[in-house]
Structure 1
Amino acid sequence: MAGNQAVNTNPPNAAEHLSAHGSDWLWAAFSLITLCLLVVTCVTFMRPRGTRLFHQIAIIVLTTSSIAYFSMASDLGAAPAHVEFRGDGGDPTRQVWYVRYIQWFINFPLLLLELLLATGLSLSDIMTTLFMGIVLVVSGLVGALVHSTYKWGYYTFGCSALLYIWYVLLWHAPHTTFAAGGVVRRGYYLAACYLAFMLITYPVCWACAEGANVISVTSEMIWYGILDCLAGPIFLALFLWELRSVDYNAFGLHSGKFVDHGASEKTAPAPTGQQAA
């Protein structure tokens, strides 16, 4: 089995570690995510130029997830950390998968950006929401590496950032003007409610795994793996399907290249009374 080979080739570095069965599950998740990446890539190149932004964000997200799950399935990308609770004969070490947090650090803001670009939110509101997504991920990583009860302080910071994200996704953004009209608004509501529901389950898993050490590393991998597949490939498929027939010109996402603007300026008539150079 691939799991046995990975664990034997890359021995665990903590007392509580990934099992061979957990590695097998991660290889299955890696295969699913990579397959979705190949499909999205093919679909992206089939679309006309100028209508690929949301698909290209999906490519970045799925590529990052594929690399992360390849690493975790290979039993790589983890650091030993002492646990606070449920230690038999002292405080044993537990594998904390920093490669997963790197994945979230890249992907979570991009998933929020994918959603919020379809709304009428200002750039400052979008940037603040993306920053809160980074706060959520970094707080989880630091809290997972802290041995004492102070880890729950970082957990509180992360949950507070998540409350702000929920406010933006479910209240502030829906009350803006959607440039593409009711079709995008309906798709946004569906995708935003789905993502918001998925986000509430991540702190629960963290509290049971890295936080209180209630579940094993293998159970943690299965739980997080299901969430990542639902919040990654499944969410992106749902969102991109809702946008399949939307006119991208309505979003106002124009190129910022000088040559593009220069071409339009050449065709524009000169102001009255101004001589040509």
Structure 2
Amino acid sequence: MIIDQAIDILKTTKGPLPLPTATHTASPTALPTVVPDRPELQFVGDEGKKTLWVVFVLMVIASAAFAALSWRVPVNRRLYHVITTLITIIAALSYFAMATGHGVSVHTITIRHQHDHAPDTFTTIKRQVFWARYVDWTLTTPLLLLDLSLLAGLNGAHILMAVVADVIMILTGLFAAFGTENTPQKWGWYTIACIAYLVVIWHLAVNGRAQARAKSQKVASFFGSIAGFTLVIWTAYPIIWGIADGSRHLSVDGEIIAYAVLDVLAKPVFGTWLLLTHANLPETNIDLGGFWAYGLGGEGSVRLVDDDGA
């Protein structure tokens, strides 16, 4: 029936049929596609990995060389040799750990960008922190201080204070490396580390120099040179930290290379200079004797007797 009505309308319509006209209908607006920002990855590259392996080999060679030098002197005069060899052995273990991908964590940093007329934006950075390096420094820098303290002739109280300040310096540097961004936490730890370093400098530059001068002019001259060399190198460490882990203006590869140069200077080069000069400077000898050279012997044995005194 509906079809019949439609036919009747067509018969009565004169002229062309009306064409359909476009009508304005509401359509959904196109929304911008929201793509989450990918975090910026600051990881070690090929240059950094190669550097870690090279320094590992150098530390092993230095350890073998220092051990060979120790065989040329009596056991009771090997204290410097033992300490210096332990320094490079620990460093070799640390660099092996870092080169094989151990002793490293990823620290996530979120940076907030404030805008006046728009919502705040955030940038996420993931940076590798080689905490094995801090373990190395916590063990080796006190040994380096012990070498210098014994060379100068510092007393036990000054040695203890210098070593404790040194350990505080390293640990607070580690806390700062994992600190939260845009808070006083990170740079607060860094400030504490710098203050602790000033305590170390005080004991070496002031007390150590005075004690070395009391030994002889040759010892004072040598101590002044090697201690000054060490302090200059150690001062470069917090500067590198501020550029690398602190502000992240230095890549992870650049950080590894910078620390590698400093570690080689502060350990193998320092050790070679110390042991060779010590061999030609009798005033620096420390004759330990006793237990260090000969053990307990018969003095440490326990004598068992019967109840009747036999």
Partners in 1 of 2:51 and 2:293 — Cα distance? 48
Contact 1:143 1:155 (C-alpha < 8 Å) held by counterparts: yes
Question: What is the aligned counterpart of 1:161 among 178, 188, 196?
Answer: 196
Aligned to 2:270: 235
Q: Does 1:218 align with 2:253?
A: yes
Determine if contact 2:244/2:250 at 8 Å carries over to the other structure.
yes
| 2:156 alignment partner, one of 101, 123, 138 | 123
Q: Which residue of 2 aligns with 1:198?
A: 233
Alignment correspondent of 1:151: 186
- Find the partner of 2:51 among 9, 16, 25: 25
1:95-125 deviation digits (Å, cap 9, x = unpaired)? 1111000000000000000000122321011
- Per the TM alignment, residue 167 of structure 1 is displaced from its structure 2 partner at its CA by 1.5
Given that 2:151 and 2:212 are in contact with CA atoms closer than 8 Å, whether structure 1 keeps it comes out as no
- Amino acid in the other structure paired with 1:19: G
Q: 1:175 to 1:84 in 2, by over 3 A?
A: farther
Question: Which residue pairs with 1:267 in the alignment?
Answer: none
Given that 1:79 and 1:98 are in contact with CA atoms closer than 8 Å, whether structure 2 keeps it comes out as yes
Higher helix share: 1
RMSD: 2.6
Change over 3 Å in CA distance of 1:40–1:243 after alignment to 2:
same
Secondary structure in structure 1 of the residue aligned to 2:229: helix
One-letter amino acid of the structure 2 residue matched with residue 218 of structure 1: D
Q: Which has the larger radius of gyration?
A: 2
Q: Distance in 1 between matches of 2:274 and 2:209?
A: 16
Unaligned runs of 5+ in 2: 1-39, 114-120, 300-310
Cα distance 1:263–1:178, how it changes in 2: closer, same or farther (>3 A)? farther
Inter-CA distance 219–258: structure 2 relative to 1 (3 Å threshold): closer
Moved over 4 A (4+): 84-89, 177-180, 256-264
Moved more, 69-78 or 218-227: 69-78
Name the CA distance, whole Å, in 1 between partners of 2:62 and 2:271. 10
Which residue is 1:7 aligned to? none
1:179-214 per-position Cα deviation (integer Å, ceiling 9, x unaligned): 753332221111100001001100000001111111
In the alignment, does 2:223 pair up with 1:188? yes
Tell me how far 1:47 sits from its aligned partner: 1.6
Name the residue aligned to 1:100. 133
1:239 deviates by 1.3
Q: Which amino acid aligns with 1:210?
A: D
Show the 5 A alignment for 1:63-142.
63-83=89-109, 90-142=123-175
TM-score, length of structure 2 as denominator length: 0.74
| Secondary structure of the structure 1 residue equivalent to 2:107 | strand
In structure 2, what is the equivalent of residue 5 of structure 1? none
* Corresponding position of 2:73: 47
* % same residue: 27
Offset at 1:46? 2.2
For structure 1, the 5+ residue unaligned runs are 1-13, 265-277
How has the CA–CA distance of structure 1 residues 94 and 260 changed in structure 2, closer, same or farther, with 3 Å as cutoff?
closer
Structure-2 change in CA distance of 1:128 and 1:27 (3 Å) = same
Output the CA distance in 1 between the equivalents of 2:65 and 2:150.
23
Instruction: State the number of aligned residues.
Output: 251
